[in-house]
Amino acid sequence: AQSVTQPDIHITVSEGASLELRCNYSYGATPYLFWYVQSPGQGLQLLLKYFSGDTLVQGIKGFEAEFKRSQSSFNLRKPSVHWSDAAEYFCAVDINNDMRFGAGTRLTVKP
Among 5, 15, 27, 100, binds another protein (CB under 8 A): 100
- Least Cβ distance, residue 77 to another protein (angstroms): 20
User: Using the 8-state DSSP alphabet, how is residue 29 labeled?
Assistant: S
When asked if residue 39 is in the footprint of another protein (CB under 8 A), the reply is no
Tell me which stretch binds another protein (CB under 8 A): 8-16, 22-30, 32-40, 57-65: 32-40
Which string of DSSP letters, residue by residue, matches 33-44?
EEEEEE-TT--E
- Least Cβ distance, residue 108 to another protein (angstroms): 17
**Pairing state of beta strands 64-68 and 56-58?**
antiparallel
Contact 64, 50 (CB under 8 A): no
Among 51, 60, 80, 83, binds another protein (CB under 8 A): 51
User: Using the 8-state DSSP alphabet, how is residue 52 labeled?
Assistant: S
Rounded to 5°, the CA angle 69-73-79 comes to 120
- Least Cβ distance, residue 19 to another protein (angstroms): 21
Among 102, 105, 107, 109, binds another protein (CB under 8 A): 102
